[in-house]
């Protein structure tokens, strides 16, 4: 795909939707959709590498997902742990740095341990940064940020009058990363689902009817090409 570097988003975020429907359409258990979705992750990571995208954030497991049937949650945690065990060396070889955001201590201990090992293994890489949003909810993130700021005010480290957008952003889970330039949502749903509400303020949104397990790097390229044709205004009026 020949795309000018200036039209490539620095940070892509994806709401990976449609795993359950993909499985249902084929008469398969829901977990089979999630397993196939893991293959789509590989396609997307490799596609981002091809395009020299710097950051990719995947909405892998929301805070609300804990309310799903226990058997499905257990299977998802097992799939996450297996994915990390099997793919960490591949990520390392492809110069991908793995990171994670969310209330990670909510994950089962074995998942936390493997996640930490995978993050540590790839910490020296300087290519694509792959950020997994796990046990993540944007409203919870904002609340955690407010609490963090309050603690600093109460401790006398900062004055409340100093709090502004930039300072608050530094107290979010995403403090080390730029805001996404492009959000992709699969399965045709037109909602944000409590994902990066603060960070997506001026992000370009691309929705595809494809279910996540069917998403390929060519679909990623199409989304990036669409992004490259847009004029980002950030609330300003621009002349044509």
Mean pLDDT over 130-152 rounds to 97
- Res 2: pLDDT: 47
Q: What share of the chain in percent tops pLDDT 90?
A: 92
Q: How far apart are CA 210 and CA 223, in angstroms?
A: 12
- Res 231: pLDDT: 81
Pick the catalytic residue: 19, 25, 65, 214?
Answer: 65
Residue 106 annotated in active site? no
Domain boundaries, the chain: 6-137+180-228
- Res 31: pLDDT: 93
pLDDT tens track for 41-90: 999 999 999 999 999 999 999 999 999 999 999 999 999 999 999 999 99
Average pLDDT, the chain: 94
**What number does CATH give the domain 6-137+180-228?**
3.40.1180.10
Residue 164 annotated in active site? no
**Per-residue DSSP letters for 88-140?**
HHHHHHTTPEEEEES-GGGS-HHHHHHHHHHHHHTTT--S-EEEEEEEE-HHH
């Amino acid at each position: 795909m020949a795309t000018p570097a200036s039209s490539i988003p620095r940070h892509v975020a994806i709401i990976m939707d449609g795993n359950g429907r993909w499985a249902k359409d084929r008469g398969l258990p829901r977990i089979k959709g999630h397993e196939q979705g893991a293959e789509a992750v590989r396609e997307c990571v490799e596609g981002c590498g091809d395009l020299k995208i710097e950051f990719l954030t995947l909405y892998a497991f929301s805070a609300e997902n804990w309310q799903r049937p226990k058997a499905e949650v257990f299977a998802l945690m097992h799939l996450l742990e297996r994915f990390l065990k099997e793919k960490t060396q591949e990520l390392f070889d492809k110069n991908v740095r793995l990171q994670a955001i969310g209330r990670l201590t909510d994950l089962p201990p074995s998942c936390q341990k493997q996640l930490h090992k995978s993050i540590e293994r790839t910490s020296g890489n300087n290519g694509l940064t792959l950020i997994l949003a796990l046990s993540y909810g944007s409203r919870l993130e904002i609340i955690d940020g407010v609490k963090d700021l309050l603690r600093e005010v109460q401790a006398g480290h900062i004055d409340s009058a100093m709090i502004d957008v930039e300072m608050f952003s530094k107290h979010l889970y995403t403090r080390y990363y730029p805001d996404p330039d492009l959000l992709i949502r699969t399965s045709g749903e037109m909602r944000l689902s409590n994902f990066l509400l603060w960070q997506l303020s001026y992000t370009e949104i691309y929705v595809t009817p494809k279910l996540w397990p069917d998403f390929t790097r060519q679909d990623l390229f199409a989304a990036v090409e669409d992004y490259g044709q847009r004029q980002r205004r950030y609330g300003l009026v621009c002349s044509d």
